[in-house]
C-alpha cells in the first residue's frame, strides 16, 4: 500500500515538473498586453514567481514602469567605479538603445566571421591596446558600424571589448533588483551545470526542482527592462554558438560560466575589490560558485530561456479580456503625460484597476501529497504544499507563499 502511494507521488512530481517546463514562443497578443498593461503583466509574473522562490514584497511596488527599475547604489556599481578608479578604465555606461544596437552589431560580426570558433574566445584577451581601440570606437557618438574595420581585430579582441562594455554598464545586465532572485532561482536545482544527462535520467524530485528553476528563470527574464532582455538574448545566442563548437574553442559551459559569472553578478566579486581579505571567506567562495552556476545555467538554457510558461500565457490571455476601468484608463493617460501624477502611487488609484485574474490554485492536503513530502526533506512547521490546477481562471483571492493576497496585486 505504502509503495503504491510512493509510486503515485513520484508520478505526480514528474507530471508537475513536466508541466512547469511547458512553454511557448511569445505571440503578438502577449507583447500587446505587455505594452498596454505593463504593471499587470509584471504582477502576473511576480505571482507565478512567488510559488517557486521568495519574492520581497517591496519589489511588487518598486517596478513602477516597464523599463525603469528604481535602485540604490548597488555593489555592482561600486565594483565598476572601483575598477575605474584603480585602472583608469571606462566611465559608467547607461544601456541606451543606441549602445544596444552597436553591441548587437559587434556580436553579429563575431557570428559572421565565425569568431566563436577561436580557441579560448572570451577567456583570452588578445592585445589590450587593440581591445581598447575597439571599445573606444564603439562608444564614440559618430561610430558607424558599417564602415568600421572589423577584420583588423582578432575575435579575442572583439570579444574582450564586448565583455568590457557590458561589465561597465551603470546597472548590471540582470539589474541590481533582480540579481538576488536570479541567484535564488539558480539554487533551486543544485546539480552541477554541464554534468550531462537528460530529463529522462532525473529523479522525480530533481525534475520538479529543475522545472521550478527553469520556470523561475523564464519569469525573471520577462521582468527585465526591454533593452536588457534584448542584449541578454543576443549575448546568450552568441555564447550558445561558442558552446556548440567546444571541440574547436575549448570553451565548455562551465568555462563560459566562470568568465561571465563576474559580469552577470558583479556584486559578489565587487566585495573582493573593496576588501581583498574577503577572498578567503567561505561566503565569498560560495557566492562565486553560485554566480558561476547561474551564468552557466543561463548559457546552457539559451533561447529556451525566453519562452513563456504555459500557465503564464493562460493568465495573460484571461486578463487581456478584462477591460480597464475608467479610473485606470485615466491613470494610464496621466502616467504618459506627467511624472508627478498622483495616480502613480495612490492607493485609491491602485484599487480602481480591475482585479488580477489567475488560474493558480492551492492543492488540498491528501494522501498523495503527504507521500510527496516523504520523497524530500521534511518541510518546516506550517509549510503548505501547493500545486497549479487547470481550472477556469477566476478572481484571485488566495495568498502566495509570502502571505500576499493575490487580489491586492491589481496594478495596471
Task: Encode pLDDT of 261-317 as tens digits.
Answer: 999 999 877 666 666 666 667 888 888 999 999 999 999 999 999 999 999 999 998
113 pLDDT exceeds 70?
A: yes
Q: Report the distance separating Cα 234 and Cα 222, nearest Å.
A: 15
State the number of CA atoms in the 13 A half-sphere of 148 facing the CB: 19
Closest listed residue to residue 49, CA positions, set 358, 393, 373: 358
Closest listed residue to residue 1, CA positions, set 369, 366, 363, 371: 371
**What is the reported pLDDT for 128?**
94
Which of 38-52, 127-141, 390-404 has the least mean pLDDT? 390-404
Residue 180: CB atoms within 10 A of its CB come to 16
What secondary structure letter does DSSP report for 143?
-
First-to-last CA distance in the chain?
A: 50
Closest listed residue to residue 235, CA positions, set 357, 353, 104: 104
- Hey, is 108 helix, strand or coil? helix
Q: Report the distance separating Cα 356 and Cα 61, nearest Å.
A: 15
Alpha carbon 276 to chain centroid, angstroms: 29
**What is the reported pLDDT for 399?**
41
**What is the reported pLDDT for 89?**
58
Report CA-CA distances (Å) from 84 to 79, 182, 323, 350. Answer: 9, 27, 50, 43
User: Contact at 8 Å (CB) between 152 and 179?
Assistant: no
Alpha carbon 410 to chain centroid, angstroms: 23
**What is the reported pLDDT for 14?**
86
| pLDDT confidence tier of residue 390, bands split at 50, 70 and 90 | very low
| Mean pLDDT of the residues in the chain | 78
Q: Tell me which residue has cell 488566495.
A: 398
Closest listed residue to residue 254, CA positions, set 289, 286, 304: 289
User: Contact at 8 Å (CB) between 1 and 188?
Assistant: no
Closest listed residue to residue 169, CA positions, set 86, 229, 81, 256: 81
The pTM of the full predicted model, rounded to 2 decimals, is 0.77
Torsion sign (Cα): 122, 127, 128, 132: negative
357 pLDDT exceeds 70?
A: yes
Amino acid at each position: 500500500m505504502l509503495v503504491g502511494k510512493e509510486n503515485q507521488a513520484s508520478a505526480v512530481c514528474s507530471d508537475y515538473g513536466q508541466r512547469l517546463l511547458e512553454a511557448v514562443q511569445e505571440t503578438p497578443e502577449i507583447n500587446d498586453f505587455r505594452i498596454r498593461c505593463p504593471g499587470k503583466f509584471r504582477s502576473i509574473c511576480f505571482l507565478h514567481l512567488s510559488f517557486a522562490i521568495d519574492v520581497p514584497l517591496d519589489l511588487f511596488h518598486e517596478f513602477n514602469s516597464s523599463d525603469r527599475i528604481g535602485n540604490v547604489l548597488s555593489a555592482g556599481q561600486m565594483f565598476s567605479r572601483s575598477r575605474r578608479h584603480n585602472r583608469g578604465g571606462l566611465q559608467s555606461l547607461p544601456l541606451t538603445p543606441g549602445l544596444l544596437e552597436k553591441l548587437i552589431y559587434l556580436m553579429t560580426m563575431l557570428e559572421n566571421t565565425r569568431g566563436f570558433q577561436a580557441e579560448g574566445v572570451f577567456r583570452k584577451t588578445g592585445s589590450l591596446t587593440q581591445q581598447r581601440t575597439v571599445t573606444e570606437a564603439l562608444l564614440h557618438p559618430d561610430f558607424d558600424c558599417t564602415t568600421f574595420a572589423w577584420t583588423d581585430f582578432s575575435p579575442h579582441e572583439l570579444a574582450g571589448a564586448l565583455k568590457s562594455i557590458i561589465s561597465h554598464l551603470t546597472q548590471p545586465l540582470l539589474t541590481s533588483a533582480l540579481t538576488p532572485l536570479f541567484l535564488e532561482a539558480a539554487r533551486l536545482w543544485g546539480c552541477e551545470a554541464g554534468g550531462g544527462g537528460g530529463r529522462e535520467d532525473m529523479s522525480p524530485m530533481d525534475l520538479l526542482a529543475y522545472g521550478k528553476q527553469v520556470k523561475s528563470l523564464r519569469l525573471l527574464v520577462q521582468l527585465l527592462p526591454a533593452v536588457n532582455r534584448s542584449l541578454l538574448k543576443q549575448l546568450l545566442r552568441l555564447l550558445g554558438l561558442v558552446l556548440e563548437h567546444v571541440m574547436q574553442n575549448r570553451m565548455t559551459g562551465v568555462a563560459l560560466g566562470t568568465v561571465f559569472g563576474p559580469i552577470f553578478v558583479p556584486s559578489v566579486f565587487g566585495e573582493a575589490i573593496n576588501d581583498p581579505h574577503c577572498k578567503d571567506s567561505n561566503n565569498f567562495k560560495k557566492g562565486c560558485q553560485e554566480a558561476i552556476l547561474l551564468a552557466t545555467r543561463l548559457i546552457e538554457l539559451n533561447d529556451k530561456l525566453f519562452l513563456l510558461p504555459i500557465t503564464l500565457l493562460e493568465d495573460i490571455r484571461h486578463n487581456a479580456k478584462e477591460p480597464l476601468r475608467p479610473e485606470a484608463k485615466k491613470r494610464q493617460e496621466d502616467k504618459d503625460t506627467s511624472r508627478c501624477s498622483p495616480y502613480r502611487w495612490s492607493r485609491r488609484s491602485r484599487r480602481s484597476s480591475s482585479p488580477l485574474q489567475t488560474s493558480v490554485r492551492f492543492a488540498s492536503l491528501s494522501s498523495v501529497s503527504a507521500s510527496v513530502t516523504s520523497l524530500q526533506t521534511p518541510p518546516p512547521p506550517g509549510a503548505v504544499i501547493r500545486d497549479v490546477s487547470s481550472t477556469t481562471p477566476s478572481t484571485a483571492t488566495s495568498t502566495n507563499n509570502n502571505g500576499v493576497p493575490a487580489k491586492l496585486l491589481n496594478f495596471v
